[in-house]
Structure 1
Amino acid sequence: MKETRPSSGTGWIWLVGIVVAVGVFCGVAAIVPGPRCSDGTSSDAIGRRGACSYHRGVTSGQAFLGVPAGLFAGMGTIALLEAMLARAAARREKEVEQLWDQARASSATTKVAAPRRAGEELEGYLRRAMLAGGLIAFLHQEEDGTGWRERTVRPRWLQMSEVAGESTYCLVGDCTVDGRRVFALSRIDQVRSVSPAPAG
């Protein structure tokens, strides 16, 4: 399992919109009348110099109708995909909030992890925090290069996972921001115990 966070980029959405727009344009252009002589007759010479010289010249046809149709389809696709992603993110955020509401509701029976002892190895301290069932906070260096961010987590277990293409020891925990995710121990610093937030 690789340590990742849901991407907030929307570049792929625009790419899909462009593909849909081009596809609709090509479809419309294939259906509507194309270039022909001004008097309505067709000619195999269209595209070469002097074509339709005896038929009042060449008209451009109606392929231009594909431009507004393609733009409408492309922008509509982008708007639809963005709305779907927004609804999915809202559902995920609501699920995380519900999980932490349940955790806060049971805070009366939740133990607080003891402070980290001087010189204590991180792995050993995390195991004590897991046994206590308490919350911990730490600084985590994000893999996407956005720097260090503080995370509050209920630690669950330790496991080997792939991070940045390398296998490393990681903490799996329920984060107040991201839900359940994986944190590489090598990217964790300034670990401390925290008390559960009061209910309500």
Structure 2
Amino acid sequence: MTISNASAYQTSPAPLGPAGMRRYFPFLDWLLHYRSEDLPGDLLAGIIVTIMLVPQGMAYALVAGLPPQVGLYASITPVFIYGLLGSSRTLAVGPVAIVSLMVAAGLGPIANGDVATYIQAAITLALLVGVMQVAMGFLRIGFLVNFLSHPVLVGFAAAAAIVIGFGQMKYVLGFSVPRGEFFETVHYTILHLAETNLAT
């Protein structure tokens, strides 16, 4: 795909008035046409998603090196906001494994083991990412994602899965592994296999 036809993915800004308000605040549109018979199914879906999202969010917080309650905040708040401002009925919103891994990799060297500094850095990072995403939305440059090839995305996801999986081995083996680069962590884990807690 070339840049010329990639511009077809861009859309013109929404006009002012009721139509524009529905464009930027989609809940104004579906709320007016919501059917009462859909409420039981939506409530059941909400309960199921909550049951899955709570432990998932806590686990992703641990992957990111943050307290578990941070995962609850990151799971509930985006879903609530996107329910009002989002336009897709199928998009999954909330913390994901790859982002959690990148947070841990990026902030680990900055905090130097200080938990309070790490949490503050994570909050600052989340704020900066949010500002950048809002700016990209206003500039309408989301079409750039179309230039990322499928093999690149698959390779990135596969590598992230390996790093995340090995990063959780300390919980399986039952001994503490200091933060560090991936191969340093692998080397440390192999050298200390004799300390494995069989009860875990």
Tell me the TM-score normalized by structure 2. Answer: 0.22
**Structure 1 or 2: more strand by fraction:** 1
Return the index of the structure with the highest Cα Rg: 1
**Structure 1 or 2: more helix by fraction:** 2
Tell me the TM-score normalized by structure 1. Answer: 0.22
Between the two structures, name the one with larger relative contact order (CA 8 Å, sep ≥ 6): 1
